[in-house]
Structure 1
Amino acid sequence: MAKKLVIKVTSGADAPERCSQAFTVAAVAVASGVEVSLWLTGESAWFALPDRAAEFELPHAAPLPDLIAAIQAAGTITLCTQCAARRDITEKDVLDGVRIAGAQVFVSEVMAEDVQALVY
């Protein structure tokens, strides 16, 4: 069984079910004791900003701010460097605890031993 789960979220409000699934799986994994690294890319990059997750709505889904808080409690949230740059998001703009990192960090995480990677 993998000791770490790396999840890359590529969707946001443009594909709410897929987006919500990624955050839900990450939060459940953290609650289950799995080490989680959640990567925000593409349209999900906006959820690295304060209050943006509160705007996200999906019937019968856990609120995104609650899922983010659960993930941050014991996991890592990373915003893609290029995705941040394309949206003029800087380190001073993001939620506390969110890091900005690039492809080389992502590749090193997914290539590590005992890692399972998912893309949503």
Structure 2
Amino acid sequence: MAKKLVIKVTAGADAPERCSQAFTVAAVAVASGVEVSLWLTGESSWFAVPGKAAEFELPHAAPLPDLIESILAAGRITLCTQCAARREITGDDIIEGVRIAGAQVFVQEAMTDGTQALVY
């Protein structure tokens, strides 16, 4: 059975360590051959917008743009539909490769056999 990991990150610049942990775990899982789906919700939604990850700083942490690039190379990043709407972010505003989807898709992914889910 394939290893699958769904990660929901709710933190952004408001909680930098928690935010960085989510992206780091996702990138390490992808590099380890795990099928990863990273969900951007709440304040992390802004990282779906080009250039926003470059503004994020946390000492001794991998640069967020590099982590996003590695996750997109072999995994999936999804921006929450409602979170995007609250921030007036549209499909035209986001990084290529990021999709917008809602809770139904999250639940479907998280409930797939063999999937582990984490929330940060």
TM-score by length of 2: 0.98
State the aligned residue count: 120
Classify the secondary structure of the residue corresponding to 1:92: helix
Equivalences for 1:75-86 in 2 at 5 Å? 75-86=75-86
Aligned partner of residue 77 in structure 2, secondary structure:
strand
- Give the Cα separation in 1 of the matches to 2:111 and 2:5: 11
In 2, the alpha carbon distance for the partners of 1:119 and 1:35 equals 16
Q: Corresponding residue for 2:45? A: 45
Q: Deviations over 1:28-75 (max 9, x none)?
A: 000000000000000000000000000000000000000000000100
Alignment RMSD (CA, Å) = 0.9
Report if the CA contact (8 A) 2:2-2:35 is conserved: no
Cross-structure match for 2:7? 7
Gaps of 5+ in 1: none
Q: Taking every aligned residue pair, what percent have the same amino acid on both sides? A: 82
Name 2:70's counterpart in structure 1.
70
**Alignment map for 1:10-29 (pairs within 5 Å):** 10-29=10-29
Structure-to-structure mapping, 1:98-109, within 5 angstroms:
98-109=98-109
Distance of 2:3 and 2:107 partners within structure 1:
17
CA offset digits 1:9-46 (Å, max 9, x no partner): 00000000000000000000000000000000000000
After TM superposition, give the deviation of residue 3 of structure 1 in Å.
1.2
Mapped contact 1:2–1:116 kept (Cα < 8 A): no
The normalised TM-score by structure 1 is 0.98
Q: Distance in 1 between matches of 2:70 and 2:98?
A: 13
2:56 match = 56
**Where does the alignment leave 5 or more consecutive residues of structure 2 unmatched?**
none
Q: Is contact 2:24–2:67 with CA below 8 Å preserved after alignment?
A: yes
